[in-house]
Structure 1
C-alpha cells in the first residue's frame, strides 16, 4: 500500500497543478488535512476507550498533576 501512495501522490499532484493550478492543489491539501485532523480528534476518545478500556480519560493525568502542583 505504501508504494501506491508514493506513486499516486506526485501523479495526482502534477495533474491537479497542470489542469487546475497550484492554488487548487494547496486548497485541496488544506481541506483534506483539516478533514483528517477533525476526524482524528472526533475518533480519538472513543477509539482509546475501545482499545484501552481501563485507561483514564484523555487529559485526566495532566489535570491530576496540575492539581497536585497547586496544593
Structure 2
C-alpha cells in the first residue's frame, strides 16, 4: 500500500502525473484506493494483474514468455 508521495521519488515523475496514472489504474480496476483523512492509499489488486497476465502471456515471446511461465506456477 502506498501514497502518491511514496511513488514520486522512486519513479521520478511529478505528483500530478503520478496522481493521474493512479486514477486511471484505479478506474481500470488494477488498484484499490482507500482514503484516510487527507491521505489516499493505493493497493494493487492481484486478481486483475493475473487476468491481464493470462491474456498477454500467450502473445509474448522471448525473455518475457519465460517470466509468464514462472509467474503462472506460483
TM-score bin, normalised by smaller chain: 0.3 to 0.5
Q: TM-score, normalised by structure 1?
A: 0.32
- Relative to its length, the structure with more strand (as a share) is 2
Name the TM-score, length of structure 2 as normaliser.
0.32
Which structure: larger Rg? 1
For CA contacts below 8 A with separation 6 or more, give which structure has more relative contact order: 2
